[in-house]
Structure 1
Amino acid sequence: MSRADRDQRAYWDGLSQIDPDAAIIDPNDRRGLKNRYLAGMRDEAFRSSLCRHGLDDCVLLDLGCGTGSSTQPLLKAGYSVLGIDISLGLLRHAKVRCGDKHCLFIATDGSQLPIADATVDAAVVYVVLSYLVDDDRARALLESVRRSLKPNAPLIMIEQARTQRRTTEAGLKVQRSRPEWLALLSSAGFKVDSSHILRHGRFPTTPLIRAGWLPPRLWPHISRLEARIAAHTGVLPWDYAEILFEARA
């Protein structure tokens, strides 16, 4: 295992000591409302995309599944899920959250996925490749994901982007530009069908949700508003955006 992998494993194992939802989204969200909102937005994006591809009752790869926050809704929707993550600490939470029915969790550093070629019906990813700062490592992982997918199977990936590449979190994370993400997917052998912004990182309603001033019944409306505004603004020069990429192997 490389030093970068050891640093990443130590980082995520450390976060596994806190609340399972905060560990994989925002560790500073003590009330958990912002994390619930963002997880709901992520889950709806995955569900809608899988439905558009006509996929149900099939086998999914949840790459970087963490504590099983995204795995559990997929299981409830009727999918079988293979969850992979670098952190044993996070995977222990996933096991408790999801059990062992129609799911399997595997720890790996991501250099080579332990999956036979052309066996998975679709893959979902939520802000995982952003933690592979080295482009060659990120490309190698995407190539391994592509090999595991059946021909023409979709990759549904949400990652953070900026207008200009920026490294954050003491060098552990990179926010690439949208063209860089598209080039990375293409170089790994994927055909990108679409990409659109789900949300801006500092959208004005986010701190209000976090503080509890906007009730959960309003969250679906706020989510749609965020996406509608983002469609017109694009990635803002002073902020990052979460972009949904849909590609095919």
Structure 2
Amino acid sequence: MRISSFLLLGLALQVSASALSQKVTLALKQAPLSRVFDEISKQTGMSVVYKEDLIREIPPVTVNLKDASVAEVLDNCLKGLPLSYEIAGTIVKVRARGSIRDESSPTDTAKRPGAPVDVSGLVWTGGKPLARVSVMLEPGNRGTVSDENGAFVIRGVPSGSYVLKVTSVGYRPVTKRISTAQGAVAVSISMEPMITEAEEWWLPMDIVKRNPVRSRVPFKRSPGTI
């Protein structure tokens, strides 16, 4: 029985080492993360586990790597996103950033009921990250701004229900209801430019051409300009 157990353990370790040693080559432009995960599985035989709603609003990614390790591919694709991962044998688990246990920490605050957690996310527009966006959590008046990669993190949020308010000059405000009762939360926020219609004004022709002709021409002016 012991010999059989050792043989099974050795076989499992061999399969795991073989999968991890596989190299991945990707050349994808504006592809959904699910496509990247599928390619990793096809080329290495590893299983990538994730929740559909976790990546549903994540913008497409562009990746161009040759003979890269699985970790290198994931680091490249998840950079700046509110996601993290862990590799256990032949299984890759993709989760919200902050929900994976830090082995150096004596307690797992992400999974302990009622413990404060992180609310993180990515703000983007037209497939590109949006920097210096105000992100407020109410009630509690907690807030931060997105960095140059469009990413933000609000740390130490108590368990409860909140409204996330995202605002930026020139963009329509976005509100999103979230709950931290089940642990860390990762969101993806898409913002739309605020388009204002131009007002039509008329200018005397002599102002335009400096002549006595008093005919008028249409002149487009945006609200707030002189």
Give the TM-score normalised by structure 1: 0.21
Bigger relative contact order (CA 8 A; separation at least 6)? 1
> Highest Rg: 1 or 2?
2
Give the structure-2-normalised TM-score: 0.22
Structure with greater proportional helix content: 1
